[in-house]
Structure 1
């Protein structure tokens, strides 16, 4: 069911100038999907920023907009593929990524969600933002046929851009980094803008004493490096093997988060892994306690780790988006992709103690500190409406109207701390780097 964040929290900053008497707040709708936790996490972060700036935010789950329980069926099938038939998911991911447009089954499914999507939007909605590819496809189709009268934007939550992320009709595609922006640009995405990620404010580098306090709170040892091993909210992939291999290196002690996979947690404890957690509400604190993140999907947890100053390694990645995200993160200079288990020990050592780790920490922090954020891009979308029905922008954002969105985007692209990593990526793999160079040079579409 849809839910709303209609009230500005008490922690929101006071506006520099109060809105004119009688002015109404702009309403923004965000459509995510409870497939894992990454899409919803990005939606929550975006909603938090928008509410802080005086917007009213409605959030909707795309799975609830699909007919007759099809959303839950789709989510369950995806989960089972990843868990029991990962090679089948790899084939499906690759096939849909190569297709010029969604297949017949996908088109029928998306078409069936159009009416419920329109019904879910309040009459005074000023713009709609999707954080899930299927929702973007529906919104794009509605915009193309003129049934959706307000701007529709897609926030690309992955570092790699699958074909389903790019939908004709979408007014703008917002990316967290120039690498996915370049991929989206090559695929023909409209108005690609680098805005950076959104994570909760608690994901920040630990202050003095926080690291020791966090280790005490989670009953973790103080005298050894800790590798935080995560596998998403579902705990999928060869996690047991990865935990054993980390432990065998002797470089770091594994601290494993299994999400909602209770069976995995029990298996790991039987394997003798000492520090195993299920669902963790205080992930900022656990990240403060650890020294390096090892992940297998390249999703929201990686962005949160960047914000806390943790170096990140991709290892034993799940098929499909796990591997393409790992490649994109490596290309961006933000995470090392360990393809060979024999390289695990030396790479972990470099991330923990060497210049590679320091460079990744700096790049990850810059990704959050220097990007303009998505709010300005959403405001630009709202302002693109013309005529007497245009929705007013909240007063606390009006002082920013003089900042051109394009200038902010260019500044973010240049200053995100990616110049050296992108140059390294070009030297290592110039063929894969073509998309980035074309994007930054303004070639192509």
Structure 2
């Protein structure tokens, strides 16, 4: 084993979850003394213009064309890497990707985002580099699957069944859970958190999170309905949506029951003192809430992976969903009834795997240990026609 391995984590700024998972894995590596960890938005590196356009479409589609995004997501969900579209996606920018990889010279690659050009390069290389993929949602999309994958780390047993049906070898799948940052594995002091954020000890707070970019339908109607019909107060996280934050601040400037925040790194603290989380169905946000046993209500799940997350987890009774204000008020009422709350906490605890990052890092380091060190020459041309068996059992 290389005593000082180089780790490349391929992440993305599409949403916030991919980057958070990469950060959690990087934290775990560094806690083991592995310091040469590079987290790279590879798609942005090799295709900055296309990345910008795609990211803008991704964010705007949630607001202006959610059904279109859902249609595209569902139409491509069953694709395989040998399909023409799959080959196109995973081969885009290979030349530039190869330059990036030759500069970093990793001993292992970990994907937290399904841009798998690195996997494609590894497949074409005579020297087989260990390549791992960490799924960041509770539903499977075909973009995550690539034949040159050493192992997949997935959040649920149900996804394993879907991957087996797609031809992935069972030995190449570990049900690890989704990695989260260390902050969500600790219980902050409640009194200290309340003082820090100037909140009241005798009040029940709904933490309303629209994601890192403040994308959530009908936030104003939600606030109005809940404030009128319940005694809950709100902590509203607007993310990086400054326009939304400023608008809500103007509306609720004199209302002591609504606390408006922009992007914050203190989400774990706010979760620890909240009655429930009202949010969109991002896989990482849901996982963070599960770790803190904070009940979740997903309001009007957006088409695509978020609808898949909501359906999968609501079927397991780990979250509530609400499609309108009447259902939202009903779900809030249920969470105030102890048996209902205890049941959903049991299901969250059953799904939560707080040691996910450690388990992933253990397996990655073991894979490196079993191989000679190829750092510095992984992507060089070598002679030889043999092909190692990959994660799918192909040769």
Q: Which band: TM-score by shorter chain?
A: 0.7 to 0.9
Contact 1:298 1:314 in 2 (8 A): no
Q: Which residue of 1 aligns with 2:209?
A: 230
Change (3 A) 1:245 1:298: farther
Is residue 194 from structure 1 mapped to residue 168 from structure 2 by the alignment? no
Query: TM-score, normalised to structure 2's length?
Result: 0.83
State which of 304, 308, 311 in structure 1 corresponds to 2:288: 304
Change (3 A) 1:365 1:79: same
Q: Which residue of 1 aligns with 2:97?
A: 117
Q: Please give the residue correspondences for 1:131-280 in structure 2 after superposition, counting only pairs within 5 Å.
A: 131-134=112-115, 137-146=116-125, 149-190=128-169, 191-204=172-185, 206-207=187-188, 210-238=189-217, 239-250=219-230, 252-272=232-252, 274-280=258-264
Q: CA deviation at 1:333?
A: 3.4
Q: Which residue of 1 aligns with 2:310?
A: 326
Change (3 A) 1:37 1:68: closer
Q: CA deviation at 1:219?
A: 2.5
Alpha-carbon distance in 2 for matches of 1:68, 1:181? 34
Contact 2:46 2:93 in 1 (8 A): yes
Q: Which whole-Å deviations, capped at 9, do the CAs of 1:106-128 have from their partners, x for residues lacking one?
A: 64454232222232225652210
Query: TM-score, normalised to structure 1's length?
Result: 0.74
Alpha-carbon distance in 2 for matches of 1:85, 1:326? 19
Alpha-carbon distance in 2 for matches of 1:384, 1:333? 41
Q: Which whole-Å deviations, capped at 9, do the CAs of 1:167-198 have from their partners, x for residues lacking one?
A: 22222110123233333333333411111232
Q: CA deviation at 1:144?
A: 3.0
Q: Please give the residue correspondences for 1:17-166 in structure 2 after superposition, counting only pairs within 5 Å.
A: 24-55=3-34, 56-67=36-47, 69-101=49-81, 107-121=87-101, 122=103, 124-134=105-115, 137-146=116-125, 149-166=128-145
Alpha-carbon distance in 1 for matches of 2:222, 2:228? 10
Q: CA deviation at 1:94?
A: 1.4
Q: Residue 376 of structure 1 aligns to a residue in which SS?
A: helix
Number of matched residues?
Answer: 364
Higher RCO by CA contacts (8 Å cutoff, separation 6 or greater): 2
Change (3 A) 1:37 1:369: closer
Alpha-carbon distance in 2 for matches of 1:332, 1:174? 20
Contact 1:110 1:138 in 2 (8 A): yes
Q: Which structure 1 segments of 5+ residues have no match?
A: 1-18, 392-445
Contact 2:180 2:354 in 1 (8 A): no
Q: CA deviation at 1:143?
A: 3.2
Q: Which residue of 1 aligns with 2:383?
A: none
Change (3 A) 1:291 1:107: same
Change (3 A) 1:323 1:152: same
Change (3 A) 1:100 1:245: farther
Q: Residue 301 of structure 1 aligns to a residue in which SS?
A: helix
Alpha-carbon distance in 2 for matches of 1:186, 1:236? 34
Q: Which moved more, 1:286-295 or 1:330-339?
A: 330-339
Q: Residue 303 of structure 2 aligns to a residue in which SS?
A: coil
Change (3 A) 1:68 1:30: closer
Change (3 A) 1:240 1:147: farther
Is residue 368 from structure 1 mapped to residue 353 from structure 2 by the alignment? yes
Contact 2:176 2:353 in 1 (8 A): no
Contact 2:281 2:309 in 1 (8 A): yes
Alpha-carbon distance in 2 for matches of 1:102, 1:313? 38
